Amino acid sequence: MSAFLSATGIHTFYGASHVLHGVDFHVDAGETVALMGRNGMGKSTLLKSLLGIVSPRTGKVTVNGRVVGRLETSAIIRLGIAYVPEGRGMFHNLSVREHLVMAARAGIDGKRDWTYERVLDTFPRLAERLDNLGTHLSGGEQQMLSIGRALMTNPRLLILDEATEGLAPLIRREIWRTVRTIKATGIASIIVDKNVGVLLDLADRHIILVKGEVVYDGGPEALKADKTILERHIGL
């Protein structure tokens, strides 16, 4: 399989602080990759480096065969990526309906697999709250709206950074169910989440970061067979 996104030799700094130390990373078309590591190990920084939200000092990122170089984040995103960042508070004074409709566009292949109707079928809670303002939704509903809005762009790659953080177990399960549906439709994803058990079930491949370096890149089998890898690097 060919990589949809690949990054080589990524070094990223915040001022004098050297956070990513030569990271190599890729996601194949349709592949689900779990990006794991303790707090502060550089997971979010890697995602931001891929998208040009922070500029790596050195390294190369390719999306769909195109070197993104110094492209603006918005231009990188239009190559077929949807990004749901960590944290909330990104909602304006728009209704649920407006958030979804404004995000709608065809994928880079011209397909519109994910329509307004399909997103509402996937998240019935949103369908019941179409006129609510995004800022008036519960945390779980905001997270669903973020993912629904991401799907409206018909991405080839969905990036979820801590999408289930702070949510009640029931809502969390609903989000994981949706992620499985998304996976089944062939959309690739990069998932950062604290829930390692779910990731071991869901992901095709796991990357573990320790202090900005990749210490594991492989399938779930080895992680399940040898628990010491997760104990050492994630602290489970």
Ligand X SMILES: Nc1ncnc2c1ncn2[C@@H]1O[C@H](COP(=O)(O)OP(=O)(O)OP(=O)(O)O)[C@@H](O)[C@H]1O
Q: Residue numbers of the site for Mg ion (CB under 5 A)? A: 43-44
Binding partner at 41 among ligand X, Mg ion, none, C-beta below 5 to 8 Å by kind: ligand X
- Please identify, using beta-carbon distances, which residue of 78 and 211 lies nearer to ligand X: 211
- Please identify, using beta-carbon distances, which residue of 34 and 120 lies nearer to ligand X: 34
CB neighbour list of residue 104: distance below 8 Å, 6 or more residues apart: 115, 116, 152, 153
CB count within 10 Å of CB 166 equals 12
**What are the beta bridge partners of residue 17?**
14
Binding partner at 39 among ligand X, Mg ion, none, C-beta below 5 to 8 Å by kind: ligand X
Which one of residues 5, 7, 36, 41 is an interface residue with ligand X (CB under 6 A)? 41
Q: Tell me if 235 contacts ligand X by CB under 6 A.
A: no
Stretch that binds ligand X, among 14-22, 72-80, 112-120, 127-135 (CB under 6 A): 14-22
- Please identify, using beta-carbon distances, which residue of 97 and 211 lies nearer to Mg ion: 211
User: Is the sign of the CA dihedral 134, 139, 142, 144 positive or negative?
Assistant: negative
- Please identify, using beta-carbon distances, which residue of 86 and 128 lies nearer to ligand X: 86
Number of residues that bind ligand X (CB under 6 A): 12
Question: What is the b/e burial string over 69-99, where b = at least 16 CB atoms within 10 angstroms of the residue's CB?
Answer: eebeeeebbebbbbbbbeeeeebeeeebbeb
> Parallel, antiparallel, or unpaired for β 157-161 and 188-192?
parallel
Would you call 24 helix, strand, or coil by DSSP? strand
Question: What is the b/e burial string over 139-151, where b = at least 16 CB atoms within 10 angstroms of the residue's CB?
Answer: ebbbbbbbbbbbb
Q: Tell me if 228 contacts ligand X by CB under 6 A.
A: no
Which one of residues 4, 42, 134, 163 is an interface residue with ligand X (CB under 6 A)? 42
Q: Tell me if 14 contacts ligand X by CB under 6 A.
A: yes
> Parallel, antiparallel, or unpaired for β 188-192 and 17-28?
unpaired
- Backbone dihedral angles phi then psi of residue 170, each to the nearest 5 degrees: -65, -45
Q: Tell me if 39 contacts ligand X by CB under 6 A.
A: yes
Stretch that binds ligand X, among 41-49, 101-109, 131-139, 200-208 (CB under 6 A): 41-49
CA dihedral 10, 14, 17, 18 (to 10 degrees): 0
Q: Tell me if 159 contacts ligand X by CB under 6 A.
A: no
List the one residue out of 192, 235, 233, 190 whose CA is nearest residue 214. Answer: 233
Min CB(21)–ligand X separation in Å: 11
Which one of residues 2, 17, 74, 93 is an interface residue with ligand X (CB under 6 A)? 17
C-beta nearest to Mg ion: residue: 44
**Binding positions for ligand X, rule: CB under 6 A:** 14, 17, 19, 37, 39-45, 86
